Amino acid sequence: MGTAQGMSGSEPSASGEAPRRTWWTLSGTGLPTAGNLRSRRVLLMLVLIWIVAVFDYVFTRMAMHLGDFQEANPLARQFIHCPVQLSTFKFGTLAGATAILLAFSRHRITEIGCWFLGAIYAGLAVLWLLYFCYVPG
């Protein structure tokens, strides 16, 4: 069968085949490392954040058409009447933040930051739900 070291995936097998790498690790040891697991969690959080961000953009545009809507973000407020500028601002800033978070995805503080950002976006989703539940029309 093989020794524990041979089963780890870092050593070539007796037949001379290259070690098998699993989908969850880039280390080649066959076992997920803490950094790899953290990177996966950061990536998952960022995917979820992007999904909520798309809904935020769509809901912002819908609320503008309903009328009597004020953008809470003072930076985005100046772009609210131009969909191209608004989408460029919202998704550009998120893309920049995503690039930074992915570059440092193996660090614990990055994961904490992603959870914090995810909590903010979850709160935003709740606010949108309440807004559309109570807005007339």
Against a cut of 0.85, is the pTM above it?
A: no
Tally of domains within the chain? 2
In this structure, are 86 and 119 located in the same domain?
yes
Judged by phi (left if over 0) then psi (alpha if -120 to 50, else beta), residue 9 lies in: left
In this structure, are 42 and 108 located in the same domain?
yes
- Burial of 54 (C-beta count, 10 Å sphere; 0-12/13-18/19+): middle
Number of other CB atoms surrounding residue 114 within 10 Å: 23
In this structure, are 17 and 41 located in the same domain?
no
In this structure, are 22 and 58 located in the same domain?
no
In this structure, are 13 and 50 located in the same domain?
no
In this structure, are 64 and 40 located in the same domain?
yes
> Residue 45 above 50 pLDDT?
yes
- pLDDT tens, 16-38? 665 555 444 455 555 667 778 89
- Report the Cα–Cα distance between both ends of the chain, in Å, rounded: 69
In this structure, are 6 and 54 located in the same domain?
no
Range of the domain at 109: 33-134
- pLDDT tens, 48-107? 999 999 999 999 999 888 887 888 889 999 998 899 999 999 999 999 999 999 999 999
In this structure, are 49 and 69 located in the same domain?
yes
Q: What confidence score (pLDDT) does residue 43 get?
A: 94
In this structure, are 45 and 10 located in the same domain?
no
